[in-house]
């Protein structure tokens, strides 16, 4: 691949963006805190896009992944990329085999991670948990599997320190990680100033492009044994129970809803 022709797909979430550490910033789309969190996310995206462009990316697609997928603020879009948002749409809309790398921006650790800020897997209210081939996995691994289905490796992950650790655990040491805060608890963090996180994201983007050749697509032997647990609540708290579903899944696009 000639330098400068890199095609990069960016999947975003909100919990791992700079400055985000409370569920009040990520749940109610009408809250001023939520709108402010969207601004924080746009700032992180802008730093990433600038860094990727500087490193020679020719095509950058940024995909809005948190909640219902309505988290972008159009007038804050950094030039040099396109932005996929709104719904309904399929997960990883626009991703295909022509891309060279995926960046997971603003991600969070899986449910149950002690020092993972806003840790959850798919649903924080139902306390959902997932296992694939007996290994408990979070949204980071799910996104990496989806990209792996197109033979595209994850080259960079941003989020709190727990997310960065989870990225290395699942994806190996070649993936570039940038911590936007130090995780202390589910709603507690040591925040890093925006100027510093964005400088680190910009710099990380350059390293990520250099790492393309070293990163391998994340794949699991098929069929994938999938297990999901969640809390089923009724009117009476005494009837609350843990529900379980298991399935054998061949298509990685179906590992979330089986
Ligand atoms: Zn999210």
Domain harbouring 159, CATH code:
3.40.50.10780
pLDDT along the chain (258 residues), means of 10: 80 98 96 98 98 97 95 98 96 96 98 98 93 98 98 98 98 98 98 98 98 97 96 85 96 92
Let me know if residue 132 belongs to a domain. no
Quote the pTM value.
0.97
For position 235, what pLDDT does the model report? Answer: 84
Distance from Cα 176 to the centre of ligand 1, integer Å: 21
221-250 pLDDT, tens digit each: 999 999 999 999 888 878 889 999 999 999
Let me know if residue 183 belongs to a domain. yes
Distance from Cα 99 to the centre of ligand 1, integer Å: 23
Distance from Cα 64 to the centre of ligand 1, integer Å: 10
Let me know if residue 90 belongs to a domain. yes
Distance from Cα 23 to the centre of ligand 1, integer Å: 10
Distance from Cα 67 to the centre of ligand 1, integer Å: 6
Total domains in the fold of the chain: 1
How far is the C-alpha of 87 from the C-alpha of 237, rounded, in Å?
34
Let me know if residue 63 belongs to a domain. yes
For position 3, what pLDDT does the model report? Answer: 59
Let me know if residue 190 belongs to a domain. yes
104 and 211 Cβ atoms separated by less than 8 Å: no
Let me know if residue 119 belongs to a domain. no
Distance from Cα 111 to the centre of ligand 1, integer Å: 12
Distance from Cα 24 to the centre of ligand 1, integer Å: 12
Phi, psi of 139 (to 5 degrees): -65, -30
Distance from Cα 134 to the centre of ligand 1, integer Å: 24
Distance from Cα 127 to the centre of ligand 1, integer Å: 14
Distance from Cα 180 to the centre of ligand 1, integer Å: 15
Distance from Cα 72 to the centre of ligand 1, integer Å: 13
**Angle between the N-to-C axes of helices 139-148 and 161-171, in degrees from 0 to 180, rounded to the nearest 10:** 40
Whether the CA torsion 216, 176, 207, 44 is positive or negative: it is positive
- Which residues, in sequence order, are bridge partners of residue 243? 230
How far is the C-alpha of 234 from the C-alpha of 245, rounded, in Å?
18
Range of the domain at 160: 6-114+147-218
For position 1, what pLDDT does the model report? Answer: 47
Distance from Cα 29 to the centre of ligand 1, integer Å: 12
146 and 127 Cβ atoms separated by less than 8 Å: no
Distance from Cα 4 to the centre of ligand 1, integer Å: 31
């Amino acid at each position: 691949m000639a330098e400068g022709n890199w095609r990069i797909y960016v999947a975003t979430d909100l919990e791992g963006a700079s400055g985000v550490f409370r569920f009040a910033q990520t749940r109610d789309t009408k809250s001023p805190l939520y709108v402010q969190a969207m601004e924080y996310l746009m700032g992180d995206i802008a730093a990433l896009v600038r860094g990727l462009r500087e490193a020679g990316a020719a095509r950058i697609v940024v995909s809005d992944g948190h909640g219902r997928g309505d988290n972008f603020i159009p007038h804050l879009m950094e030039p040099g990329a396109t932005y996929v948002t709104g719904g309904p749409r399929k997960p990883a809309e626009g991703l295909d085999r022509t891309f060279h790398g995926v960046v997971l921006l603003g991600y969070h650790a899986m449910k149950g991670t002690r020092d993972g800020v806003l840790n959850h897997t798919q649903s924080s209210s139902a306390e959902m948990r997932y296992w694939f081939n007996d290994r408990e996995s979070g949204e980071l691994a799910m996104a990496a599997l989806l990209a792996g289905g197109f033979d595209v490796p994850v080259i960079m992950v941003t989020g709190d320190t727990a997310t960065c650790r989870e990225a290395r655990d699942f994806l190996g040491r070649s993936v570039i990680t940038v911590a936007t805060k130090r995780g202390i608890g589910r709603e507690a963090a040591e925040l890093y100033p925006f100027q510093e996180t964005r400088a680190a994201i910009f710099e990380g983007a350059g390293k990520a492009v250099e790492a393309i050749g070293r990163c391998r697509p994340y794949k699991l032997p098929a069929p994938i044994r999938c297990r999901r647990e969640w809390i089923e609540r009724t009117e009476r708290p005494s009837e609350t129970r843990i529900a379980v579903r298991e399935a054998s899944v061949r298509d990685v696009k179906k590992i979330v809803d089986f």
